[in-house]
Amino acid sequence: MAFTRRQVLVTTAAAALLPTSVRAALPRLEAREALQQIAPENYDPTPIWGYDGGAPGPEIRIAQGARVQRRLVNNLPEPTTVHWHGIRIDNAMDDVPGLTQDAVPPGQGFDYDFVAPDAGTFWYHSHNRTMRQVAQGLYGPLIVEEAAPPDVDHDLVLMLDDWRLDPETLRITQDFDNNHDLSHAGRLGNVLTVNGRFDPAYQARRHDRLRLRLINAANARIFNVGLEGLAGWIVALDGMPLAQPMAVDGPFPIAPAQRVDLIVDVTAEAGQTASLVSVERDGGWGLARFEVGEPSASGPRGATSALLSNPLPQIENAGDAPLHRMVMQGGAMRWLEKARIGDTELTGRELAELGRFWALNGYAERPPEPFLDVQRGSLHRIAFVNETAFPHAMHLHGHHFRLIRPDGQLGPWRDTVLVERGETRQIALVADNPGDWLLHCHMLGHAASGMMSWFRVA
């Protein structure tokens, strides 16, 4: 049957009236329940919540400057969203329920369509009931490739997590309101995984050069990563290249939400195993293994060079920029005496009854007014003053910032900074992305129990 011109016009006009969620198809990203082998092989699989049925979800890989286009389809029993962690994104796509949009109800969809301006290692995760949804597997890698990527034999994403499984049933424990976790170091798991599997094995040859993109997707665990049979450099942090690659000369920390890009050579002999280990005070655990085969033809290689830099703002004279204090209080051993929720001041006891144990500048939940309300393009310093007895991984949405070293020199670019207990850390921020942006602890139990704030860039 041939369409008449009139029919065609009617159809296109009708399509224009449809809400975007039912217009033409973007590639789908489906949030749903699934079964996955989290515990070692000879145990039962675990019911999880995953994107496209897996944790991590599918690796989304695009070229720098290209668009990420995905239709979230929510087939979970509760509302959800996708947040694109570390992308200097258009505010409308940042997906924070209650701040930039509503969560997507079960059975419905949302179209994400945005440009990724920076090359590097990023990730995506749920930002609704974040602690429980991420703990159940709603996360995945987002890789933005450089125009001229470094010369390596393998480019491998390694997403670290720790799951808390009931030892009897191997189900994810549902104790998300556990006040002890919330008021201490957060929800720590008992099964460590890489790419959703326990101690996975990869193949490599001696002298192979690997780019390893480590992403910490855990709720609260600070991994201390050691290398065995692998030697090389850290080349990027939180997606942003270091000006100079930094030789790895011992275990290094990676806090929740942080990324570390490594370029390493396989130094283990053929027939041996190289590994990535989690170094703990009293020993350690294997995270992932490389079974090493016959040497590659190329033989050992020379030093690696820095990755191409991203189009980040210039920062000069950060020392002259206005300094804003973000005081972090509360938690076990330094219990809150009082803090505000909205306009109401509550006592520590009243807050604890509401499951609130932490405060940022005196607020135990996202305050009604932004912590900072600043002009687009202006330069600021933020001092994170950690008066608690625990470390916190402080994350800003929509921006990267530079660490300021104790001597006042500018350090690397990051989107999440680990602030140790009792420590004060300064950052320099060019507020160049307009919108309302969250600022919170990425230990997700801490965020849920008070460590949540926001800033506005006009």
- Chain mean position to CA 25: 27
* Residue 439 contact, options Cu ion, ligand C2O, none, Cβ 5-8 Å cut-off depending on partner type: none
Q: What are phi and psi of 348, to 5 degrees?
A: -55, -40
Q: Does 443 bind Cu ion (CB under 5 A)?
A: yes
425 lies in the site for Cu ion, by CB under 5 A: no
Dist CA 438 CA 395 (whole Å) = 8
Site string for ligand C2O, 377-406 (x = CB under 6 A): ------------------x-x---------
Backbone angles phi, psi at 248, to 5 degrees: -85, 115
Partner touching 158 among ligand C2O, Cu ion, none, CB below 5 to 8 Å by kind:
none
d(CA 348, CA 184): 15
Distance of closest approach, residue 257 Cβ to ligand C2O, in angstroms: 5
Total number of residues that touch Cu ion (CB under 5 A):
4
**Half-sphere exposure of residue 238: CA atoms within 13 angstroms, side-chain side:** 27
Q: How far is the CB of 231 from ligand C2O (least distance, A)?
A: 31
State yes or no: residue 366 binds ligand C2O (CB under 6 A): no
Number of residues in contact with ligand C2O, rule: CB under 6 A?
A: 10
CB of 183: closest distance to Cu ion in angstroms? 11
- What's the min distance (Å) between Cβ of 443 and Cu ion? 4
Q: Which is nearer to ligand C2O, 125 or 205 (CB)?
A: 125
Question: Residue 457 burial by CB count (10 A; 0-12/13-18/19+): exposed, middle or buried?
Answer: buried
Q: Interaction with Cu ion in 367-406: which residues (CB under 5 A)?
A: 392
**C-beta of 194 vs 257, nearer to ligand C2O:** 257
Binding characters for Cu ion, 57-86, by CB under 5 A (x = yes): ------------------------------
Site residues for ligand C2O, window 74-93 (CB under 6 A)?
83, 85
What is the closest distance, in whole angstroms, from the C-beta atom of residue 330 to Cu ion in the complex? Answer: 10
User: Is 257 a residue that touches ligand C2O (CB under 6 A)?
Assistant: yes
Nearer CB in complex with ligand C2O: 230/394: 394
**What is the distance, to the nearest Å, from the Cα of residue 298 to the centroid of all Cα atoms in its chain?**
35
Q: Which is nearer to ligand C2O, 321 or 438 (CB)?
A: 438
Instruction: Give the contacts of 309 (CB within 8 A, at least 6 positions apart).
Output: 241, 243
Using the rule CB under 5 A, is 187 a contact of Cu ion?
no
Binding residues for Cu ion, per CB under 5 A?
A: 392, 441, 443, 446
Binding residues for ligand C2O, per CB under 6 A?
A: 83, 85, 125, 127, 257, 395, 397, 438, 440, 442
